[in-house]
Structure 1
Amino acid sequence: MKAVALTEFGEPEVLSGQELEDPLVGPDVVLVEVRAAGVNPVDAMIRRGYLQSAYPHHMPLIPGWDVAGVVRAAGPAVTGYQSGDEVIGYVRKDHVQNGTYAELVAAPERTLAHKPRSLDFPQGAGLPLVGLTAVQTLHAARTGQGDVVLVHAASGGVGHIAVQVAFAMGAARVIGTASERNHDFLRELGAEPMTYGERLPERLAEIVGGDGKVDVALDFVGGQALRDSPSVVRRPERHVSVLEPDTVLSQGGRYVFVRPNTQHLTWLGELADNGQLRVEVQQTFPLERAAEAHGVLEDGHVRGKLVLTAD
């Protein structure tokens, strides 16, 4: 099969097109013909070798944990999918090697869900990691009816989904930080935008009113935003971050590292099909231009998602 892989860690240029063996299909594994693969910050971290202390890595290494495609074959223990089904998945495995930047991916059944009818393949590939992260951080913060939610980096991949999922979980208001050029985008999603920068707690208090605090704070950017979170949330255990685990845990908050979950992914698909969830894809790239996509990703300020397409 054709794939984009790396044989050494480094800058985006280490990614190159390669001809590799087709993946094996185990008893509980689904072989997916890839139509699109999402590009996420964790892919760049893997490319640079930053996750070597967390997972065994093997070369040649195909990055990518997000996929949308069509089932080619299914192992004998698979019960939920058959050839021809359109699926999406967050295909994170215990070893880092056989990712989704390829023509074919062997996906454990537990990592997949049926593709929502309302999403095309690029949108479908853009949903799994960010969607699951949004759901799982909001669950960790026990988000519910009437809550006021603050989302840091609200126009990014995870952030723009978290805004919408928060409303689906019953939030009364969602306030999102973003650069000014993305404020109208956040308003389209129903959020109240505010800019990044200094004096965030004071500026937030002016927007929120009352005691100036929110019920839930979600951090998807780290740094100063994370350091500000304990001072703007009413109860420290209801602020959650996907970055800097030592910091957020020392603050009394929660750290989330996203996990595959078919039930969560299926629910996100239902939200999309019901018109409650929009997946913003800023740009698509042919698979062979994965290095260019990584360059755009690392330049920052991506609105929504970047996606590779295999056709």
Structure 2
Amino acid sequence: MKAMVVKDYSNGAEMVLAELDTPLPKPGHVLVKIEASSVNTVDLKIRDAGPDLPFAPNTPALLGMDFAGVVEAVGSDVKGYQVGDEVYGCAGGLGDLPGTLAQYIVADVNLIAHKPRSLSMREAAALPLVGITAYEGLTRAGVTAGQKVLVHGGSGGVGHIALQLANHFGAEVFSTGHGSQKLDLIRKLGATAIDYKTEQVDDYVAAHTGGKGFDVIFDSVGGANMANSFAAAKLNGHIASTVSMVELDLTLAHVKGLSLHVVFMLIPMIHNIGREAHTEILQKLATLVDNGELKPVLDSTSYTLEQANEAHQRLASGDAMGKVVISV
């Protein structure tokens, strides 16, 4: 099979086209012919950090986590799947799990689900990692109807799904962003747009919450922005962060009694624990999609497998709107 692999993490970790043996199905797994994959920020981090990340695959590394495709063979002990089924999931690209920038993958059935019927393969491939991340963050933060939820980075991969899920849970949704296209997308997805370049935290907290602060903040920006999340949260509020690798004074979080929920959806994949939770979330997301309550937004660009390096560059540029997808 054709695949794009990183032979050396140094010198920019360029991916090159290679011919690999097509994997064979094994117990608890299905062989899937991949039709599309999508690029996630963690893919870029693996290429940048390489062996410094404990979950980076050894070279030659086959990256890519998300996929959508068709089942071609079923391993023993597998129930609920048969040849010809359309499936999607986040099932490879780290540790000893071969990635999805290839024509085939042998995927653990606890990391996949049947593809939403109403989505194309490209759309379905855009959803798994960001969908699981957004769902886990919002549910762990206990989002309920009537709450005011602020999403930092609502036009990004995780953020634009979080906006739609927060609406599904019945929240009143707000989101930070910058640039007319990104702010327009935020509004289109049912949230009140806040331009973080022109509106200070205290100003938008006063305007939208009467100075009380937001019930839940979903922070997909992280880093130094965590301080803005603390400032925007109400007393005893909740913050779900997908990027919490930062040194920060927690005094404000303490005096406000804030709860911080760190979301790292790769844990089941890395440690092979609780993987079935990913299938359950993917099934719920598929239902929401087919009910018209959720849809991934794809970047305007389109890439082939051989153009995987360009696809990674597109995401790294910060110019992408929604998910960058690779057709296999």
Is this a same-fold pair by TM over 0.5?
yes
CA deviations on 1:233-278 (whole Å, 9 max, x unpaired) are 1245611111124658954512110155111111111111111112
Asked if the contact 2:86/2:115 (under 8 Å) is kept, the reply is: yes
Report the CA distance shift for 1:12/1:24 in structure 2 as closer, same or farther (over 3 A).
Answer: farther
285, 307, 310: which is aligned to 1:292? 310
Which residue of 1 is the match for residue 282 of structure 2?
265
Match of 1:3, as an amino acid? A
Q: Distance in 2 between matches of 1:266 and 1:210?
A: 38
2:241 equivalent to 1:244: no
Summarize the Cα distance change of 1:55–1:301 in structure 2 as closer, same or farther, 3 Å threshold.
Answer: same
Distance 1:56 1:228, change over 3 A: closer
Output the TM-score relative to the length of structure 1: 0.93
Alignment correspondent of 1:307: 325
- Partners of 1:60 and 1:97 within 8 A in 2: no
Identity %: 36
- CA–CA separation in structure 1 for the residues paired with 2:38 and 2:61: 16
Asked if the contact 1:220–1:243 (Cα under 8 Å) also holds between the matched residues in 2, the reply is yes
Query: Could you list the per-position Cα deviations for residues 5-56 of structure 1 after superposition, in whole angstroms to 9, with x for gaps in the alignment?
Result: 1111146661111101112322001111000001111111111235743326
Distance across 2 between alignment mates of 1:215 and 1:179:
23
Distance 1:120 1:304, change over 3 A: same
- Matched with 1:183 is 183
CA apart distance, 1:211: 2.7
1:300 to 1:246, Cα distance in 2 relative to 1, 3 A: closer
Matches within 5 A, 1:1-16: 1-10=1-10, 14-16=14-16
5 Å-filtered alignment, 1:188-203, equals 188-197=188-197, 200-203=200-203
More displaced 10-residue stretch of structure 1: 158-167 or 221-230: 221-230
Query: For residue 83 of structure 1, what is the aligned residue in structure 2?
Result: 83
Matches within 5 A, 1:105-184: 105-171=105-171, 173-181=172-180, 182-184=182-184
CA distance in structure 2 between the partners assigned to 1:273 and 1:164 by the alignment: 14
Q: Pairwise CA RMSD of aligned residues?
A: 2.0
Q: 1:185-230: per-residue Cα shift (whole Å, max 9, x none)?
A: 1111110001123763223224313234100001111233211111
Q: Compute the TM-score of the two structures, normalised by the length of structure 2.
A: 0.88
Aligned residues: 309
Q: Given the superposition, is the C-alpha separation of residues 24 and 289 from structure 1 closer, same or farther in structure 2, using an over 3 Å criterion? A: same
